[in-house]
């Protein structure tokens, strides 16, 4: 199943701010519509506020999100508390691809302190291009 993306929502905390800005520039360069939900600087903020904000914005199957914090762990945990959010913490290209193929993830979480910029951009690219396999994987997702 090909993912039809209308818009990509971006959000980060202070630790993920710089990487979020680089991802934003990368997506805009590809002609992808984005909505940056913040944070707007490196000033300390609480990551759950931004993960919850994004989760509330993603209401349709054609919207996806990118969350960035220091490790990606906190953001993914906070986002996954919301119904119909499948946030996948991805540290490499293979995890980004499998999160889409097998788990139909609609949010990718990245750790700015753990993932180099070039790898993060490749993960985002693969995440956005990889279709969901469906089939037996859909049955499993319905059990979440």
76-118 pLDDT, tens digit each: 999 999 999 999 999 999 999 999 999 999 999 999 999 999 9
Could you tell me the domains of the chain? 7-141 (3.40.1400.10)
Contact 8, 27 (CB under 8 A): yes
Predicted local confidence at residue 106, as pLDDT: 96
- What does DSSP say about strands 34-36 and 63-69: parallel, antiparallel, or unpaired? unpaired
Residue from 108, 69, 138, 112 nearest 99 by CA = 108
Structure token digits, residue 82: 């919301």
Q: With the CA atoms of 125, 97, 10 and 22 taken in that order, what torsion angle do they form, in degrees rounded to the nearest 10?
A: -40
- Whether the predicted pLDDT of 1 surpasses 70: no
- Banded model confidence at residue 59, pLDDT cuts 50, 70, 90: confident
Q: Exactly one of 14, 52, 82, 102 is catalytic; which is it?
A: 102
E-strand stretches of the chain: 7-12, 34-36, 63-69, 87-89, 107-111
- The question of whether 82 is a catalytic residue gets the answer no
How does pLDDT run across 8-52, given as a tens digit for each residue?
999 999 999 999 999 999 999 999 999 999 999 999 999 999 999
């Amino acid at each position: 199943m090909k993912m039809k993306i209308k818009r990509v929502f971006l959000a980060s905390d202070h630790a993920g701010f710089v990487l979020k800005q680089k991802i934003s520039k990368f997506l805009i360069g590809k002609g992808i519509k984005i909505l940056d939900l913040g944070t707007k600087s490196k000033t300390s903020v609480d990551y759950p506020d931004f993960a919850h904000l994004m989760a509330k914005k993603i209401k349709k199957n054609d919207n996806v999100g990118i969350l960035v914090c220091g490790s990606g762990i906190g953001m993914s945990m906070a986002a996954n508390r919301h119904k119909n959010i499948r946030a996948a913490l991805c540290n490499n290209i293979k995890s980004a691809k499998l999160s889409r193929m097998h788990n139909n993830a609609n949010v990718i979480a990245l750790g700015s302190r753990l993932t180099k910029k070039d790898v993060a951009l490749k993960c985002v690219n693969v995440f956005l291009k990889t279709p969901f396999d469906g089939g037996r994987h859909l049955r499993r997702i319905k059990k979440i």
